[in-house]
């Protein structure tokens, strides 16, 4: 009976940790007009991060968006314009950049590649960094991967330990 309990306990822990520990990758399209920081709404990724959880973001460098509607000088990828900086609500970045926010926390530069640990718990959101949405065109494709939390990896280790203990007692 004790052996069965250890095996059942290990199986339950492995199932729980396996479900929670799997990397989650989400893709989407951030629109320059609809997801503009000023005049638009956030692109909600549906990815909810725990404080300290690692995550990675990539945006296709070949995708272009524009904040002038007609002047090709203002086309940029998610890194924004090297020649045009702006400050909105105390946050400074290149106009045309892909920026992020976790929950209602501070904004941060994402660009075409970004990797970090979440500074707070909440949903990851994206914006096109611009002072108005009226003349924005284009969009960028983004991919977000949330890395498993360390606690889930610890649960997996505990599950494998329970299995090993049950196998050792059998011998």
pLDDT digits (tens, 9 = 90+) for 43-76: 999 999 999 999 999 999 999 999 998 899 999 9
Break the chain into its structural domains and give their ranges: 1-22+149-171, 23-147
Rounded-to-integer distance, Cα 114 and Cα 103, Å: 18
Q: Which residue has the higher pLDDT, 13 or 132?
A: 132
pLDDT of residue 144: 97
Rounded-to-integer distance, Cα 164 and Cα 43, Å: 45
Closest CA to 129 of 108, 105, 146: 108
pLDDT of residue 69: 86
Rounded-to-integer distance, Cα 11 and Cα 23, Å: 20
Rounded to whole angstroms, what are the CA distances from 87 to 37, 66, 111, 127?
11, 18, 16, 14
What is the architecture of the domain spanning 23-147?
A: Sandwich (2.60)
Residues 14, 160 contacting (CB under 8 angstroms): yes
């Amino acid at each position: 009976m004790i052996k069965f309990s250890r095996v059942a306990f290990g199986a339950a822990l492995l199932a729980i940790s396996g479900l929670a520990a799997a990397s989650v990758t989400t893709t989407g399209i951030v629109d320059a007009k609809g997801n503009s920081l000023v005049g638009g709404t956030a692109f909600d990724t549906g990815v909810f991060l725990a404080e300290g959880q690692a995550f990675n973001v990539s945006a296709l460098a070949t995708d272009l968006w524009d904040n002038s509607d007609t002047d090709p000088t203002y086309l940029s990828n998610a890194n924004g314009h090297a020649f045009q900086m702006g400050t909105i609500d105390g946050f400074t970045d290149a106009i045309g950049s892909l920026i992020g926010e976790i929950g209602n926390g501070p904004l941060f530069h994402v660009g075409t590649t970004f990797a970090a640990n979440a500074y707070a718990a909440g949903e990851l959101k994206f914006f096109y960094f611009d002072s108005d949405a009226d003349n924005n065109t284009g969009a960028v494709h983004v991919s977000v991967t949330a890395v498993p939390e360390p606690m889930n990896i610890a649960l997996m280790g505990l599950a494998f330990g329970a299995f090993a203990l049950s196998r050792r007692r059998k011998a």
